[in-house]
Amino acid sequence: MRRLNRKKTLNLMKELDAFPKVPESYVETTASGGTVSLIAFTTIAFLTIMEFTVYQDTWMKYEYEVDKDFTSKLRINIDITVAMKCQYVGADVLDLAETMVASADGLIYEPVIFDLSPQQKEWQRMLQVIQSRLQEEHSLQDVIFKSAFKSGSTAQPPREDNSLKSPDACRIHGHLYVNKVAGNFHITVGKAIPHPRGHAHLAALVSHESYNFSHRIDHLSFGELIPGIINPLDGTEKIASDHNQMFQYFITVVPTKLHTYKISAETHQFSVTERERVINHAAGSHGVSGIFMKYDISSLMVTVTEEHMPFWQFLVRLCGIIGGIFSTTGILHGFGRFVAEIIFCRFRLGSNKSTSVPLPDDHTSNHLPPLTDNSTH
């Protein structure tokens, strides 16, 4: 009884077979079919390799939402070298919301030499090349996001030569925390002093001939410090053409959450517009000599997520490639054989037509030629 049920089950499964097998004695192979099959297999192998390359790659997905975090502090990371001695310059932040000077105790003033060493010049040149490429090809920013924490540090390398030249510049580096509102970070003559009405710098003891706000921005970023991320102002160098010169940077900061397969961090992207002018009160160009970075916080927050193609989607695309190529090549091969048979049939019909026989009165006869003596009756 069990054997009978098993036999019925096997017969039922055979009836459900959607892939009937054709005996080899009924299959005819041709040279054209073999050629088409070879082309099909080659195409399948090539597209499979390309599809596997796409499967291994990842891409960045950008999502936008309103930033509802107004209570947290904003971190500003600074590394700027000014071509003036440290006792002549001061840096601080003016918070526009509270109209008061934010604390700048986290900044370090280090006397250095403004001219770079050969190795440092090469580092700056490479950084400027990367910045120019980023401005032309925006998709490179995705590559930088993916390589964060994996690539080497983008900080300026230490000076390798033992120069005996005395320091003629001041490197201001470190970080400070401010409120998430618009503000103005600036470096100008004199140290900042407390003032009940706002903010002032003690610049009376510094002569105008010593003003030189030529500067180099080795690093400027907002939010968490992430090695490998290149910011828009990194590697910027400006040379002042006049003692009383103002450099202005108008910065729009966008809060950004970065989620990749390597890191998950909260940072900030920003765009910048530059302007510089010479202060000349007689000509109507008013202001204060120095370096001014006016930043504003965007109300939108960007979430950047690294995504990968699911494995099931890779299998579906792979099956589509294999099945599509087999079907397409089969159709093309059948159509080619159909056209070839039509052409050959017409050629054979033309060759089997009877030849015309001329008559004495210049008429032609399409009848069969007369039988000769050797023909049978």
**What is the per-residue pLDDT across 271-281, written as a single tens digit (0 to 9) for each?**
899 999 888 87
> Are both 72 and 53 inside the same structural domain?
no
Contact present, 33 and 326 (Cβ < 8 Å): no
What pLDDT sits at residue 215? Answer: 94
The predicted model gives 19-30 an average pLDDT of 67
**What is the per-residue pLDDT across 69-105, written as a single tens digit (0 to 9) for each?**
878 888 999 999 999 988 888 888 888 765 555 556 6
**What is the per-residue pLDDT across 153-184, written as a single tens digit (0 to 9) for each?**
567 777 776 667 788 899 999 988 888 888 88
What pLDDT sits at residue 120? Answer: 84
More confident position, 188 or 283: 188
Closest CA to 94 of 196, 174, 173, 178: 178
> Are both 54 and 102 inside the same structural domain?
no
> Are both 40 and 153 inside the same structural domain?
no
Question: Is 19 inside a domain boundary?
Answer: no
Per the structure, the count of domains in the chain is 2
Q: Distance (Å, rounded) from C-alpha 179 to C-alpha 295?
A: 12
Q: Distance (Å, rounded) from C-alpha 256 to C-alpha 269?
A: 6
Closest CA to 215 of 253, 246, 179: 246
> Are both 157 and 52 inside the same structural domain?
no
Domain that holds residue 37: 31-59+308-326
What pLDDT sits at residue 251? Answer: 94
**What is the per-residue pLDDT across 202-238, written as a single tens digit (0 to 9) for each?**
776 777 778 899 999 999 999 888 877 888 898 899 9
> Are both 96 and 243 inside the same structural domain?
yes
Question: Is 290 inside a domain boundary?
Answer: yes
What pLDDT sits at residue 130? Answer: 82
Contact present, 110 and 170 (Cβ < 8 Å): yes
**pTM score, two decimals?**
0.69
Question: Is 75 inside a domain boundary?
Answer: yes
How far the first Cα of the chain sits from its last, in Å, is 77
Mean pLDDT rounded to a whole number for the chain: 79
Question: Is 216 inside a domain boundary?
Answer: yes
**What is the per-residue pLDDT across 313-352, written as a single tens digit (0 to 9) for each?**
889 988 988 888 888 888 887 887 778 778 877 666 666 6
What pLDDT sits at residue 376? Answer: 44
What pLDDT sits at residue 124? Answer: 86
What pLDDT sits at residue 100? Answer: 55
> Are both 132 and 219 inside the same structural domain?
yes
What pLDDT sits at residue 375? Answer: 42
> Are both 272 and 322 inside the same structural domain?
no
Q: Is the pLDDT of residue 50 over 80?
A: yes
User: Mean pLDDT lowest for which of 29-38, 53-62, 140-149, 356-365?
Assistant: 356-365
Confidence of residue 368 (pLDDT cuts 50, 70, 90): very low
> Are both 274 and 159 inside the same structural domain?
yes
The predicted model gives 289-295 an average pLDDT of 92
> Are both 53 and 72 inside the same structural domain?
no
> Are both 285 and 230 inside the same structural domain?
yes
User: Mean pLDDT lowest for which of 1-5, 28-32, 357-361?
Assistant: 357-361
> Are both 221 and 101 inside the same structural domain?
yes
What pLDDT sits at residue 152? Answer: 54
